[in-house]
Structure 1
């Protein structure tokens, strides 16, 4: 198998936010994610496997109408891509026990993606959870 370039690795990593999250292309799960894929989520739990990830992402997309994940920056070193991603959408469905608010969100997210054998093996998400909860009205904004 030919050695993958950093451009190849970045292209693979970007497909998750750009194709699966933004476009809702769940047909890519099997092609894009390793069978033993693990997502280290921003709420302290790990999601393991393609099916579990698809279920979690569908639930998230059902909560946020018009969701989009915009990759602002990406840096690749070896098999790992660090991405700064802006998340946008409108809270139209239940999310983590919070009933729909109709609020628009715009949240920063850092994603580290490890690619192995041409597939995403692992992702670490560092979401601005406080900012998200403030925008949903679940917590009072700090400093006001």
Structure 2
């Protein structure tokens, strides 16, 4: 497989995760798309950096934002490493990071890099604008309220 074909195949795997697992809650597909030895180099707070931690995070997001979905703005790949810029959207109907449900519509941006090996997501690096999300939920992540 040449580099371009490898990149396109890797992008398709990451896109399926974004569209079908994250946006539609298809957790059976999660099991197929993530390698058993998956490693998250930037795990979210209170999450382990492995497949179980990623699965738990996806379930927490789906419970807190039942209509959670991602809008992919762009994707690029170099070989087996795929970078995606996207905006997540949802309605806050469950507790998230200690914040009780507010019913508010939210959105926040993320940039993810995922390595795809043998058709499975094997590594992840990511940055999410959780500061913006917490502000939208009425929390004070900067600790500036008296």
TM interval, short-chain normalised: 0.7 to 0.9
Partners of 1:115 and 1:140 lie apart in 2 by: 34
1:78 Cα deviation from its structure 2 partner: 1.1
1:32 aligns with 2:53: no
Conserved? CA contact 1:9–1:115, under 8 Å: yes
Partners of 1:41 and 1:106 lie apart in 2 by: 20
Number of aligned residue pairs: give it.
139
Q: Which runs of 5+ in 2 are unaligned?
A: none
Alignment of 1:1-144 (within 5 A): 2=1, 4-39=5-40, 40-43=42-45, 45-49=47-51, 51-139=52-140
Conserved? CA contact 1:42–1:129, under 8 Å: no
TM value normalised by structure 1: 0.87
TM value normalised by structure 2: 0.86
Q: Which runs of 5+ in 1 are unaligned?
A: none
1:52 Cα deviation from its structure 2 partner: 3.6
Stretch of structure 1 that moved more, 87-96 or 5-14: 5-14
Partners of 1:65 and 1:121 lie apart in 2 by: 26
